[in-house]
Amino acid sequence: MEHNEGTFTGFGGLELYYQRWRPEGRPKAVLPIVHGFGEHSGRYGNVVDWFVPQGYAVYAFDLRGHGRSPGPRGYINEWAEFRGDVRSFLELVHEQEPERATFLLGHSMGGLIALEYALHHPEGLAGVIASGPVLAQVGVSPLLLALSKVLSGILPRLTLDTKLDATAISRDQAVVEAYVNDPLVHSLGTPRLSTELTRAVEWTQAHAAEMRIPCLIVHGSADRLAPPEGSR
């Protein structure tokens, strides 16, 4: 297995960190990953360990404000920044893996990002996979959500701890402990991110019937962070 790291230029000229894992020889297809809120590309070793030995290339990048990528933690000014970053990332993937089928994979908030992106830009994608996507009200304090709506217009960059319940990450205690002890993980959010995420959920739900490429949604029925009702 070949592993490489690098950066690419995202929306607005921001340099974002990415990793890739390739099998020996030409890959069957490519799986670019969009991670969830507060985490980073390095948390998908289980995906890498499964797909790369099967002959697939896996790419993953750290969203702005996450992991090794720059930017205020948990802040975006508008959702188009995420969409633009994914577009730039996929351009890099297509450049490095020409003429290979590309299946965009997103988890949790990354699942929402992937679905919303695929609705806007299906070209170049063979399909989209969403794991536990945020398609309904997320599992954070309702008080914080209400407060965020007010603050988004006056203090959009105000940093708040989302009080995300780490025990809801997984039923596997080892996974929870790895998450809690990961120095690149954070639970910080901002009012603007909250309102932009809500708008993205509403838009994606309203336009779901317009999906023009194969789409697979996988969602745990006991998910406490991204309610499965949204996927249903």
3-state secondary structure 13-68: HCEEEEEEEECCCCCCEEEEEECCCCCCHHHCHHHHHHHHHHCCEEEEECCCCCCC
Distance, in Å, from the CA atom of 139 to the CA atom of 169, rounded to the nearest integer, reads 11
Identity (one letter) of the amino acid at 32? P
Between 149 and 183, the more confident residue is: 183
- Reply yes or no on whether the pLDDT at 142 is more than 90: no
- Reply yes or no on whether the pLDDT at 170 is more than 80: yes
Q: What is the pLDDT of residues 23-46, one digit of tens each?
A: 999 999 999 999 999 999 999 999
- Reply yes or no on whether the pLDDT at 165 is more than 90: no
Q: Are 228 and 219 in contact, with CB atoms under 8 Å apart? A: yes
Q: What is the pLDDT of residues 91-113, one digit of tens each?
A: 999 999 999 999 999 999 999 99
Distance, in Å, from the CA atom of 231 to the CA atom of 201, rounded to the nearest integer, reads 11
Asked which of 18-22, 78-82, 86-90, 186-190 is least confident by mean pLDDT, the reply is: 186-190
Distance, in Å, from the CA atom of 63 to the CA atom of 189, rounded to the nearest integer, reads 13
In this structure, the chain runs to a length of 232
141: confidence class by pLDDT, cuts 50, 70, 90:
low
Mean residue pLDDT across the chain: 92
Identify the H or E element spanning 200.
helix 191-206
- Reply yes or no on whether the pLDDT at 159 is more than 90: no
The residues spanned by each domain of the chain are 2-137+196-218
Is domain 2-137+196-218 annotated with CATH 3.30.70.1450? Answer: no
- Reply yes or no on whether the pLDDT at 226 is more than 90: no
pLDDT at 144: 67
